[in-house]
Amino acid sequence: MTVRIGLIGKTNTGKTTFFNAATLQYAEVSTYPFTTKQPNYGTTYAISPCVCREFNVKDNPRNSLCVDGYRHIPVEIIDLPGLIKGAWAGKGLGNQFLAVASQADALIHVVDASGSVDEEGRITEMGKGNPLADFYDIQEELVMWLMRLIDRQEDKIVRNLKAGKGFVETLAEALQGVKISAAHIEAALRLTGLRGEEFEKWTMLEDKKFAEKLLEVSKPMIVLANKMDLETAGANFEILRDTLTSYMVIPASAEAELALRRAVQKGFVKYIPGEEDFRIVDESKLTPEQRKALEFIESRVLGEYMRTGVQFAINVAVFKLLGMGVVYPVSDPAKLSDGSGNVLPDAYLMPPNSTVKDLARAIHTELEKGLLYAVDVRTGLHLPGDYRLKDRDVLSIVSTTRHRSKT
């Protein structure tokens, strides 16, 4: 299973800049509202300390990369067209792509913390915009989108209910296309106190409360306070962080990260994404403007916030928000290798509470069929199928239907 992250937010907040920085693509960025017209898809990486250092081996990664002892595990990222207040009623473009956003495992809601975007989505004088109001406006659009989706299914739901089908089951069927499950619906009913109430008799307010909770439980989200390199952003960041207490709010400068990663590509600087510093490789190669830009990044972004926030946000989304763990399956527990001798070839991101059985299935369904147990490489223990995986476990799965090519 590949983890998928979706970038959503008001137009002009820097979603595509973040996407380009994270993927090193060249999707169009501009100061005009609604620059992105179709979703952009790319690959970025979640980064976790690799077990190769602990085992003191030189690894040969296949499904991931190992850079200076850090495992980079591919993650899908989707950049979506920008939203605007009133999108649910057809304003702007973004609304029609919310079904695409709903396919993501986690959402990053990008906000312009510098307040450079006005109500209509145009770039305005820095500090004039209201990032907190922007956040609420866009959340409202998501809720309206979901409400409409449920509304459109109402006749069908009522018909099914009359035919004796359960409400949760009926709604789950209607919403499976946007990755909302029966468990999500159960949770939203419980949290709103609407369980047992007759669906047809819910008031508008109850419809909305339900949609809000359903969104909250089904679409985990972090808030990215972007454009922190601009002067007006500091105060707004504090407002966002101190008001939106049910979210993790991450300060970032997507533009600074993009500049650094491009400079790495050109060989000007040495910089590992997420690190707190970079090193200029050859001063003489830089133009005075480039040097000035790098000095600015060093003092205004890295100096104040320690990092640009781009890699940090991806890691927070994968490891803290989704609670993923990294697991290294190997075929030969002595050599830590696969059948072809590759050392620590694969790293899998596994959701919380995943078991040995889940890992076997993620590798190959055949492997799961004949599953016996997994050998814990560190201790030699035989772990049963329902053992809950721990972060950085190195395991060798033993199965009667061993799938040799993969592990």
* Shortest Å, Cβ 78 to ligand GTP: 12
Q: Phi first, then psi: what are they for 87, rounded to 5°? A: -60, -35
* Shortest Å, Cβ 65 to Mg ion: 27
Q: Which of residues 52-81 bind ligand GTP (CB under 6 A)?
A: 81
Contact 2, 240 (CB under 8 A): no
Estimate to the nearest angstrom the gap between the alpha carbon of 181 and the chain centroid. 19
* Shortest Å, Cβ 135 to Mg ion: 17
Q: Which of residues 17-56 bind ligand GTP (CB under 6 A)?
A: 17, 29-31, 33-36
Tokens of 250: 């991450």
Dist. CA 190–CA 407, nearest whole Å? 42
CB environment 39-53: b (16+ within 10 A), e (fewer): bbebebbbbbebbbe
Tokens of 61: 């990664």
Pairing of strands 269-270, 279-280: antiparallel
For 211, the 3-state DSSP assignment is: helix
In the list ligand GTP, Mg ion, none, the entry touching 48 (Cβ below 5 to 8 angstroms by class) is none
Of the ranges 251-259, 279-287, 314-322, 343-351, which one interacts with ligand GTP (CB under 6 A)?
251-259
Q: Find the length of the chain.
A: 407
* Shortest Å, Cβ 252 to ligand GTP: 7
Binding characters for ligand GTP, 194-223, by CB under 6 A (x = yes)? ------------------------------
Q: Which of residues 252-281 bind ligand GTP (CB under 6 A)?
A: 253-255
* Shortest Å, Cβ 79 to Mg ion: 6
Q: Interface with Mg ion includes 331 (CB under 5 A)?
A: no
Dist. CA 363–CA 205, nearest whole Å? 45
Q: Which of residues 15-74 bind Mg ion (CB under 5 A)?
A: 15-16, 35-36
Give residue for tokens 């609420």.
136
Residues of this chain that bind ligand GTP (CB under 6 A): 11-17, 29-31, 33-36, 81-82, 226-227, 229-230, 253-255
Residues of this chain that bind Mg ion (CB under 5 A): 15-16, 35-36
